Structure 1
Amino acid sequence: MSSLFHALFEPRRIALIGASADEKKTTSRPQRFLAKHGFTGEILPVNPGRTEILGLRSYKNLDAIEGEIDHAYILLNGKDAVEALAACGRRGVKVASILAGGFADAGAAGASLQDELVRIVRETGIRLVGPNSIGTVSTDPPIALTANAAFAVDRLRTGDWALVSQSGSLIGALLSRADARGIGFSRLISVGNEVDLAVGEVTDLLVDDPKTKAILLFMETLRDGPRLARAARRAHAAGKPVIAYKLGRSEIGQELAKSHTGAIAGSDATFDAFCRRHGIARVSMFESLLDVPALLVGRPRPTGRRVAVATTTGGGAAMVVDNMAVAGLDIAGPPRDLVDWLKPLGIAAGEGKLVDLTLAGAKPEIVAGTIERLLADEANDAVIFVVGSSAQFNPELAVEPLLRFAGAAKPFAVSLTPAADKSLALLTAAGVPAFRHPESCAEAMALCLLRPTPQAEPKLDPPTPAALAALEAGRASGFDERRAAALFAAIGVTTAKALAVPDARRIPAAVAEVGAPVALKILSADVPHKTEAGGVALGLPDGQTAALAAREIEKRVKRHVPGARLEGFLVQKMERGLAEVILGFRRDPLVGPTVTVGLGGVLAEIYKDAATRIAPVDEAEARAMIEEVKGLATIRGYRNLPRGDVAALAQAIAAFSRLAHDDFADVAEAEINPLLVKPEGEGVVAVDGLVLLSRR
């Protein structure tokens, strides 16, 4: 293990800067919790106003402490915390944590203080957790270096799951929920504002921790995507699942995350794409952070998605089945030998896919015999048993018989319909995955059977000279639609035939060359959204009509975008297709280059029917994206509708994703809307697009 890991999770000498003797104060907690939970190293309180704190010698400053210091917990606020970190850097402390908030999470003044922390870390080489870190905890050896009131519990339960959280208070919430179920942790850490040590690097450290078998992440944003991607891939290779719960699924959730952490939460779709690319199991329920690991740890990925379900409550089972179907799992019916075995017992199990043991079957021998036969059936890949009221009042009937199936060869889980804490703890202690919520049970089983594995990152060939020339032209003069189309064509996307003209007088000749009917568009790098500015006219039948339309277009654009530089007009051949697709590229500030495909046209933002991936993608992944877009069922042969050229669309998506190459690093966003999909075998064609460069 690295020296950083030991200083972070297994320090032997800890300085508490700003420690308090007043047990009512938060700043007294770290010293009290270290002692309470059995820390056997040295605790070194630092407080210039005291010579003794809670029975230990107190030091005036760090320089008064002899020998090395592994970890310093700074319990001061604002400028005092900054000065304390500088003192730690000068003193050679290996790792420091800062409890206080009020930095980038508190506006401009706090951001300035946080910049000072960054400077100190850079200049001294000290490693920093926080600010806004509630602390770091290990259970073996016991080190409760935290100010979180949840650690006032009588004992810390050991376990082999680690938790990395950007929220300090949520560590306490998860700890209490886990403890009530008999679940413990190996390590817990609150990384706060992540000035230095962030989720990705801490996860990377935990991959090598022999006491950790699963890594749970509570996230509000993503600050170190490349490090987390590397860590997740290493964790997969080591057989350690990485399971993430992230805020920011809704627009308001993203705003709350921003105000709480001082960072942008980012698009939910791009984080999903990040998890898919790097093999992270993302959960939608907070409770699932505790529910999912039991079905993933130490278990190879099954090869199918068929789940057999038995129950003593039809309604409870229906909730689990419904959620599993939404998650993409198939429900397997009972095997013939089980149907024949249950029939003499008065249980008709062959009439549907559920094995319903309600009333007559809530007996230990029937429950055990049913599960035994389902687990032996090769026609399913996993088994779930849903227990009704007997779980709460008579666990000996339908819960205790399930304990023998802990460690079954195939995934086996139990969903408890009532609030049955005793049964939940009983199953958990025996090693049988048990769930309080049907949604969480279904989510866990879906991740067990369909869990993402790290995907190979397609190799990007260097851009062609034509692509580099098109990029340079756009850099030099700005990307109007003509220059955007030239770039798209150069990277392999077919574009509509078009001619650029400087003024309306030359439009008739251009129409004759392109071929009527035509679309007429204003050319201006200052007008990226031409339709909204009145800069487009469609279906013009001849050159004279187009010339007249040009004058009206020019008037509308000047009113809508005063001061825009107008460079003439684009005369483009009208194209038709079976479907309109939007194809987008974006360098996301959190996850890097992404590519998106969705239903196109003017209503694209309303429908939001799209699939997003980390770029680049190959054609196989592009086809998977097409399958995800519901509105594109029309070109996939839905109800005998004419098939579109899906193969050409996949090729275009893969080609467009080549903008992820480093040579295109200043392409912040690019979009084709619409990309017309023609009948099968006839290709696709881009008829409108834009390119936005980042500011240098």
Structure 2
Amino acid sequence: MAPNPTPSQADRAPGVAALSGPLLHPASVAIVGASDDPKKTTGRPQRFLAAAGYEGTAWFVNPRRGTVQGVKAYPSLSALPAVPDHVYVMTGADAAVDTVAEAARLGVPVVTVLSSGFAEEGAEGKAREDRLRAAAAQGPTRVVGPSSLGVVNPRNGVMLTGNAAFGEPDTPTGGIFVASQSGSVIGAMVSRARGRGIGFAGLVSTGGEADLSLGEICSATLDDPEITSYALFLESLRHAGDLADFAAAAHRAGKPVAVYKLGRSDEAAALTVSHTGALAGEDSEAEAFFRACGFVRVATFEGLCEAPALLERIPSDGPARPRVGVVTTTGGGAAIMVDQLALRGLSVRGPSRELVERMAAAGAPVPHSLIADLGLAGAKHDVVSAALRELQDSGEFDLVLFVIGSSARLNPELAVQALAERGGHAVPVVGFALPEAPDAANLLASSGVPAFRTPESCADAIAAAFSRRSATIDPKRIAGLPDGTPRLLDEQVSAELLAGVGVPALPSVALKTASIDDEVTLPFGYPVVVKALSDQLAHKTDVGGVVLGVADADALRAAVRKIAVDVAERAGITVDRVLVQPMADKGVGEVLVGYRRSPDVGPVVVLSTGGVQAELYDDSAIRLAPVDRATAQEMIDEVTGLAVLKGHRGTPAGDVPALADAVVALSHLAVEHPSIVEAEANPVLVRTEGVVALDALVRRIDDEKSGRA
């Protein structure tokens, strides 16, 4: 795939693009706190720079020594012969702040800080971090870190790191740029890539991101033509706005991004008053954010290292249901691979009878089955070459996966060499060797054929690559919560607000409990439902605040009295009003449509099966808001429990287009009502014609200055 034009500096955060040179290509570096002991963490960078053949100028600062490791040491940055492009600080925290201030006065462009003792250490550390930022702001200096294990560019020998993994010689070079919020990961990535044909154009440990964020660092490198893809290791989504800026620019540059993020467990679900808050937990929001960014999220750490090569071969917006063909010399290995693909929702397609006949005629006979099994006798260069040629040329597959047996380790010049020669075809091929075969992996990767060490990482990368979509992220929408304390609106006000944006609600009337013995006239007939109406009650059913099937006026009065007593006893809340609505028909199904403003990624919209059991099932779809009609339909298709809306065994189908309209309407709260931090219509009754919200909940922060919401 030909890359799109690289974005200009104007497309990115002001001044960030100018950092690429001093960050990864500094002509001069300085190590502050350099040790005379090459075995210490503070002594390693000097040793690493020399071993890697760094050709720039390297200075070493240690005010207590005249030399370090046999090289002249300087007492301070100000004593250096010239201003360095990049400074690595390996001192205590307070000394690091002083060094950053000195660097700013001198005009040093980039300072990377290894030192810890900042925001992670409570109030005192946060105050120290504030001083660090203020020190950098005295000049043009931008800071990587603190708690950064460094910056590495193996292409030119820049080894500003104390990570012991870089003590091995010949860090592999290639096109992957790694940015990690965990310092140890940059070394782990390099060690896993060694001898497998996977190489790096740069690795940065972002540390505490007190100044430069991970997104800004990546944006600074986008103009580097030798960087072809990105691998991000994330512990959190701090500075998501900068990540969104990078995502939009990376998409324009045609440079794919793979992400591994911690926190897939449900224990980080947001503590909010609605079901939506529980459904849109931290990890679900991250998933929606990555989708909008056009990032590929891998589920295995191994996949983070291996997936970028495949992403460079498969464009975004590829087929959602790819036709994967499997050819093999080991039936057992292929079966393992088929299982792993199926677990990720991918189906293997067997060659057609016509293709089997053409393969036989070409000297690569296989049985007509789900996989093209060449057998042990087929582990020959000419046989494998003919099989791959016919499979790739057939038009029957979007990707061909070759599962290689023992020959991968013992005789890579046979099947592996044939596979390596097929990397340039429009239909990509990938390889998985059943035995441990680093030489085979190295041969394949260096030939442009993605190679995988485990069946799990192989299936993970294939599924992730075909799930990638073009970036739709709008960085302007990535904002934290507005100032103020959210307040709950009562159901009547909530329903009116949602109806105003296009989510229809049942007719209703509010009655005062104090006058319930007076004559009651309803604008609709019985039976009705009676609900407690209060801006202090988020969940009425839990405290006896709802009575269904009220048949007449006497039953209505009795229901009101019961609700007032039950809610007072169970929740300690005085109910002075109730909401009365006509009982709704059963419809075709019930759904939840929710909205919330995430403090990390901004507004999201949630769709799930509805009712009080919405949180019990891991069956929801989440996207960044607002969404369009096509995305809303995609969300409906994604929720397994909503398949009933399409009609099942003779039952009527629901009005799915009307539901999609309601999802779109609710999502536009992000544009029309930015002060709303949470909204939910649950359940929304889907009928054969139209939809209607049976209950509504809204939390809003009022604009105190204007008095508006």
| TM-score where L is the length of structure 1 | 0.90
CA distance in 1, matches of 2:347, 2:201: 35
Give the corresponding residue for 1:641: 651
CA distance in 1, matches of 2:365, 2:439: 31
Give the corresponding residue for 2:635: 625
CA distance in 1, matches of 2:424, 2:42: 44
Give the corresponding residue for 2:579: 570
Secondary structure, counterpart of 1:608 in structure 2: coil
Q: Which residue identity is paired with 2:557?
A: A
After superposition, the C-alpha distances for 1:55-75 in whole angstroms (9 at most, x for unaligned) are 332222233234323222121
Secondary structure, counterpart of 1:631 in structure 2: helix
> Which of 647, 666, 670 is the aligned partner of 2:675?
666
> Which of 677, 682, 692 is the aligned partner of 1:685?
692
- 2:179 is the alignment partner of 1:164: yes
CA distance in 2, matches of 1:58, 1:458: 45
User: 1:218-233 counterparts in 2 under 5 A?
Assistant: 218-233=233-248
Shift of 1:615: 0.3
- 2:626 is the alignment partner of 1:616: yes
Give the corresponding residue for 2:393: 376
Shift of 1:303: 5.3
- 2:419 is the alignment partner of 1:402: yes
Shift of 1:655: 0.2
Give the corresponding residue for 2:684: 675
Shift of 1:299: 5.2
CA distance in 2, matches of 1:88, 1:626: 55
| Inter-CA distance 39–342: structure 2 relative to 1 (3 Å threshold) | closer
CA distance in 1, matches of 2:125, 2:676: 32
| Inter-CA distance 456–182: structure 2 relative to 1 (3 Å threshold) | closer
Shifted more, 601-610 versus 435-444: the winner is 435-444
Give the corresponding residue for 1:105: 120
Shift of 1:181: 1.0
Structure 1: give runs of 5+ residues left out of the alignment.
256-264, 461-473
Q: Tell me if the contact between 2:325 and 2:349 (Cα under 8 Å) persists in the aligned partners.
A: yes
Q: Which residue identity is paired with 2:67?
A: E
After superposition, the C-alpha distances for 1:381-407 in whole angstroms (9 at most, x for unaligned) are 221111122323333443232222122
Shift of 1:595: 0.1
CA distance in 1, matches of 2:79, 2:208: 30
CA distance in 1, matches of 2:601, 2:520: 43
Shift of 1:456: 7.5
CA distance in 1, matches of 2:566, 2:459: 55
Q: Tell me if the contact between 1:484 and 1:689 (Cα under 8 Å) persists in the aligned partners.
A: yes
Give the corresponding residue for 1:308: 325
Shifted more, 141-150 versus 500-509: the winner is 500-509
Secondary structure, counterpart of 1:193 in structure 2: coil
CA distance in 1, matches of 2:213, 2:420: 40
Secondary structure, counterpart of 1:639 in structure 2: coil
Give the corresponding residue for 1:583: 593
Give the corresponding residue for 1:143: 158
After superposition, the C-alpha distances for 1:463-500 in whole angstroms (9 at most, x for unaligned) are xxxxxxxxxxx999851111111110111100111111
CA distance in 2, matches of 1:252, 1:640: 40
Shift of 1:372: 1.4
Q: Which residue identity is paired with 1:103?
A: F
CA distance in 2, matches of 1:596, 1:558: 32
Shift of 1:296: 2.3
| Inter-CA distance 61–364: structure 2 relative to 1 (3 Å threshold) | closer
CA distance in 1, matches of 2:71, 2:487: 70
Q: Tell me if the contact between 2:655 and 2:686 (Cα under 8 Å) persists in the aligned partners.
A: yes
Shift of 1:508: 7.2
> Which of 338, 344, 351 is the aligned partner of 2:368?
351
Q: Which residue identity is paired with 1:159?
A: G
- 2:545 is the alignment partner of 1:535: yes
Q: Tell me if the contact between 2:32 and 2:90 (Cα under 8 Å) persists in the aligned partners.
A: yes
- 2:577 is the alignment partner of 1:560: no
Q: Which residue identity is paired with 1:584?
A: G
User: 1:178-217 counterparts in 2 under 5 A?
Assistant: 178-217=193-232
- 2:463 is the alignment partner of 1:446: yes
- Please give the root-mean-square deviation of Cα atoms over the aligned residues, in Å: 2.8
Shift of 1:343: 5.3
CA distance in 2, matches of 1:634, 1:184: 49
> Which of 206, 211, 236 is the aligned partner of 2:251?
236
Q: Tell me if the contact between 1:338 and 1:370 (Cα under 8 Å) persists in the aligned partners.
A: no
Shift of 1:186: 0.6
Shift of 1:365: 2.5
Shifted more, 580-589 versus 432-441: the winner is 432-441
Shift of 1:548: 1.8
After superposition, the C-alpha distances for 1:334-365 in whole angstroms (9 at most, x for unaligned) are 24455235658998735322111223323333
Give the corresponding residue for 1:35: 50
User: 1:645-656 counterparts in 2 under 5 A?
Assistant: 645-656=655-666
Q: Which residue identity is paired with 2:687?
A: K
- 2:86 is the alignment partner of 1:71: yes
- 2:101 is the alignment partner of 1:86: yes
CA distance in 1, matches of 2:223, 2:613: 49
| Inter-CA distance 223–61: structure 2 relative to 1 (3 Å threshold) | same
After superposition, the C-alpha distances for 1:494-548 in whole angstroms (9 at most, x for unaligned) are 0111111222533875563332222211122122122222222222222222222
> Which of 357, 363, 377 is the aligned partner of 2:380?
363
Tell me the number of residue pairs that the alignment of Structure 1 and Structure 2 aligns.
Answer: 670
CA distance in 2, matches of 1:405, 1:67: 52
Shifted more, 67-76 versus 410-419: the winner is 67-76
CA distance in 1, matches of 2:606, 2:537: 23
Give the corresponding residue for 2:436: 419
Q: Which residue identity is paired with 1:188?
A: L
| Inter-CA distance 670–253: structure 2 relative to 1 (3 Å threshold) | closer
CA distance in 1, matches of 2:498, 2:243: 32
Shift of 1:328: 4.2
| Inter-CA distance 507–234: structure 2 relative to 1 (3 Å threshold) | farther
| Inter-CA distance 101–70: structure 2 relative to 1 (3 Å threshold) | same
| Inter-CA distance 478–174: structure 2 relative to 1 (3 Å threshold) | closer
- 2:553 is the alignment partner of 1:546: no
> Which of 37, 50, 68 is the aligned partner of 1:53?
68
Q: Tell me if the contact between 2:603 and 2:670 (Cα under 8 Å) persists in the aligned partners.
A: yes
Q: Tell me if the contact between 1:595 and 1:614 (Cα under 8 Å) persists in the aligned partners.
A: yes
Shifted more, 105-114 versus 351-360: the winner is 105-114
Asked which structure has the greater RCO (Cα within 8 Å, sep 6+), the reply is 2
User: 1:459-498 counterparts in 2 under 5 A?
Assistant: 479-498=489-508
Secondary structure, counterpart of 2:668 in structure 1: helix
Secondary structure, counterpart of 1:405 in structure 2: coil
Give the corresponding residue for 1:463: none
Q: Tell me if the contact between 1:333 and 1:353 (Cα under 8 Å) persists in the aligned partners.
A: yes
Give the corresponding residue for 2:12: none
Give the corresponding residue for 1:468: none
| Inter-CA distance 14–333: structure 2 relative to 1 (3 Å threshold) | same
Shift of 1:147: 0.9
Q: Which residue identity is paired with 1:624?
A: E
Shift of 1:185: 0.6
Give the corresponding residue for 1:127: 142
| Inter-CA distance 117–653: structure 2 relative to 1 (3 Å threshold) | same
CA distance in 1, matches of 2:518, 2:367: 74
Q: Which residue identity is paired with 2:170?
A: R
> Which of 279, 282, 285 is the aligned partner of 2:294?
279
| Inter-CA distance 607–477: structure 2 relative to 1 (3 Å threshold) | closer
CA distance in 2, matches of 1:511, 1:110: 65
After superposition, the C-alpha distances for 1:368-426 in whole angstroms (9 at most, x for unaligned) are 22111111101222211111223233334432322221222211111111222222222
Secondary structure, counterpart of 2:590 in structure 1: strand
Give the corresponding residue for 2:338: 321
